[in-house]
A = this chain, B = another copy of it.
């Protein structure tokens, strides 16, 4: 037998009629959507060698590798990860669910996750609209898609959500709040402690009647935790709790502005207000400026979720800074470690927070 390689076999018949959307262009341009065997034929190796060239190049002969890469170029081959995932029983897609895609808060965490995952993984994103059943639906969709890991911003879930993730046995990180008992893992900060510390800071500054404004509490564990932190700090410092100066507000600048107006109308004696969540504090401050109320002399305003805007308004806002980007990075790297089989050091990672005192208090 001579050393002449196998003759080019050409593409085998494809009995199934749906095989290719046979556009005229396909016929003209030649093959569209080359498969691994096409590359293999061109490079005169078996499909398996092509697979190895892509996944474990170190164990393939450099000469062969070169031929294969040439063939990949020539055919415009793009590996089919659907087939790859099915065969190897693992995917390279991570799923991420946030309460709202609109809110730039979450965007920070998303960015951290995306940056840390890098090129090797893709990111599937869904939006629960702050509704637990929609989170459940998104989790089901992700698990159907066989994601290799899940990041959830919310930490309150339906029982079925927990059950599905646990029985899928894939890594999962919750990022919205430092929960004591995660589905699997958590990377976050304590919303309770953050609100507690900010309230204590205001008390320390000498404010006597401190109002509290947050987003609606239902299905929102973060807002709930923050309110309880505020209440805890008042109790610890033996301050009276006045339910009339604890508000749930609509989101947005307008929500914060309206909350401040309502508070000032009802209880003119309050001397400080802590607005937590979204951009409420900024809305309140802009409204105070518009009304001519002096901040902090007439009313002190403190916010949370520090951002460039809070730093740039006048007076700049006292706020709590949360390491949202880091949380995303940490969440992703916890996921990756688990996927790579590294024994998990900690299930719950506290990234902390920082009170930033500025001129508004």
Give chain A's interface residues, CB within 8 Å of chain B.
18-19, 21, 23, 25-26, 29, 32-33, 76, 78-83, 85-86, 88-89, 91, 93, 100-104, 107-108, 110-111, 114, 119, 122-127, 137, 140-146, 163-164, 167-169, 252-254, 257, 279, 282-283, 286, 289-290, 308-309, 312-314
For residue A342, give the distance in angstroms from its CB to the closest CB of chain B.
15
Name 21 interchain pairs, CB-CB below 8 A, sorted by A.
Answer: A18-B88, A26-B169, A29-B167, A32-B169, A33-B167, A76-B167, A80-B144, A82-B86, A102-B104, A102-B108, A102-B111, A104-B107, A114-B125, A119-B137, A254-B308, A254-B312, A279-B309, A286-B312, A286-B314, A289-B314, A309-B309
CA distance A282 to B312 in the complex (A): 10
Query: Which B residues are in CB contact (< 8 Å) with A85?
Result: 82
Please, which residue of chain B has its CB at the minimum distance from the CB of A19?
A: B89
Main secondary structure of the interface of A (DSSP, over half): helix
Specify which of A25, A110, A163 lies most central, judged by the most chain B CB atoms within 10 Å of its CB.
A110
Q: Are A101 and B107 in contact (CB under 8 A)?
A: yes
CA distance A124 to B95 in the complex (A): 9
Q: Are B123 and A21 in contact (CB under 8 A)?
A: no
Q: Are B145 and A82 in contact (CB under 8 A)?
A: yes
Q: How many copies does the complex hold?
A: 2
Q: Are B114 and A110 in contact (CB under 8 A)?
A: no
CA distance A251 to B82 in the complex (A): 39
Query: Which B residues are in CB contact (< 8 Å) with A252?
Result: 308
Q: Are A101 and B110 in contact (CB under 8 A)?
A: yes
Given contacts A82-B145, A101-B110, A123-B126, 12 further A-B contacts (CB under 8 A): A23-B169, A78-B143, A78-B144, A78-B164, A80-B144, A83-B86, A124-B124, A253-B309, A254-B308, A254-B312, A279-B309, A286-B313
Please, which residue of chain B has its CB at the minimum distance from the CB of A110?
A: B101
Which of B82, B286, B289 sits near A146, CB closer than 8 Å?
Answer: B82
Query: Which B residues are in CB contact (< 8 Å) with A18?
Result: 88-89
CA distance A279 to B279 in the complex (A): 15
Q: Are A253 and B123 in contact (CB under 8 A)?
A: no
Please, which residue of chain B has its CB at the minimum distance from the CB of A129?
A: B115
CA distance A156 to B252 in the complex (A): 34
